[in-house]
Amino acid sequence: MSRIAAITKKARQEGNKLLIPYLVAGDPGLPETVRLMRALVANGADIIELGIPFSDPASDGPVIQRGVERSLARGTTLIDGLEVVREFRQTDQTTPIVLMGYLNPIEIMGYEVFIQKAIEVGVDGVLVVDMPPSESAVLHGQLQTAGIDTIYLVSPTTNACRAVSIAGHSSGYLYYVSLKGVTGAALTDYESVRKNIEELRKLTDLPIVIGFGIKDGESARAMAELSDGVVIGSALVAEVAELADSEGISDEQISSSIAVIKNARNAINTIG
C-alpha cells in the first residue's frame, strides 16, 4: 500500500481529517523548505504538497506567484525540488509528499528521468495542474508502473460524467477545487461546495480533499467537515513570505510562520 493510501485509510478509520499544507520548494530557500516541512509535520500536517516553481503559473493567484518568483530568483529547479524530498526523507519515512506543479519542467527533464528520480528520493504522488487526464496517458502510465499516485483536480465546472472519469484516473485522493478562480481567491460560497461534494461522494469512494481559498481555522474546519481533508496553500505561503529577507532564520521564526497550519489543525480537531 502506498504511503498516501495508508494515511488516508487510517484517517478514515479513526475519523480524522487530513491536513495538507502546500509550500513552494525553494521559498525562501531550499534548506528552509526542508525545515518548514518538518515543522509542518510536527504540527499536524498529514501530507505535504511541494510546489515545483514554474515561470508561468497560470492557475495561481498573486501570493503563490510571488512565492514562485522568490524561489526562481534563487534558481530553484525541478531537480532541487526532488532533492528537497530526499533531504526530508532522511528523517521522515512516513509522511507522503505530493509534487505539485506545471507540466513543462517535467517535459523538459523527460518523463523517464523524472520518474526514476522521483522514486529514488521518495515522492508519493504527482499533481500536474495543467495536465488533464486526456493529455496524461503516457506520464500517468509511467507513474502508475512506478507506484506513484497521480492526483487530479475536480472543479465546480466539472460535470458528473467527467468527474467519474477523473476519479477513475485518480489514485491517492481527489482534489476538489472549492471555487472558480485561482489559488488564494476568496472562498465564500460554502453551500455550493457542500452540494458538489455530496454529488461527488455518490460518484467515487476516493478520499476527497478540498483546496483553494482555505485561509484560517474557521474555513479549514468548515471545509474539513464536508470532506476528507483540506489543502492550505496561499495562506501558508503568505506567512512564509515574511521569512524572505531574513538572514539566519531561527526555529522560532520557522515555527511562527506556520501559524495558519497550527490553527487549522486545532480547528479541525474540534470536529465531533
Q: Which residues bind other proteins (CB under 8 A)?
A: 54-62, 65, 69, 72, 77-79, 102-109, 129-132, 134-135, 152-159, 162, 166, 177, 180-182, 185
Closer of 175 and 261 to other proteins (Cβ):
175
| Catalytic hit among 32, 46, 60, 149 | 60
Residue 58 CB partners (closer than 8 Å, separation 6+): 102, 130
Q: Residue 49 catalytic? A: yes
Residue 254 Cβ vs other proteins, minimum distance, rounded to whole Å: 27
Q: Looking at 27, 46, 49, 87, which residue is catalytic?
A: 49
For strands 174-177 and 149-150, give the pairing: unpaired
132: left (phi over 0), alpha (psi -120 to 50) or beta: beta
Question: Which one, 104 or 253, has the nearer CB to other proteins?
Answer: 104
Give the shortest CB-124-to-other proteins separation in angstroms.
21
**Residues 64/234, Cβ–Cβ less than 8 Å:** yes
205: nearest Cα among 3, 19, 5, 1: 5
Q: How far is the CB of 160 from other proteins (least distance, A)?
A: 12
Closest to other proteins by CB, 88 vs 102, is 102
Calculate the alpha carbon distances from 12 to 3, 205, 228 in Å: 14, 11, 8
The residues facing 23 across adjacent strands are 50
Q: Cβ 67 to other proteins, closest distance in Å?
A: 12
Cα 145 from chain centroid (whole Å): 22
Is the CB of 203 or the CB of 254 nearer to other proteins? 203
**Catalytic sites, residue numbers:** 49, 60
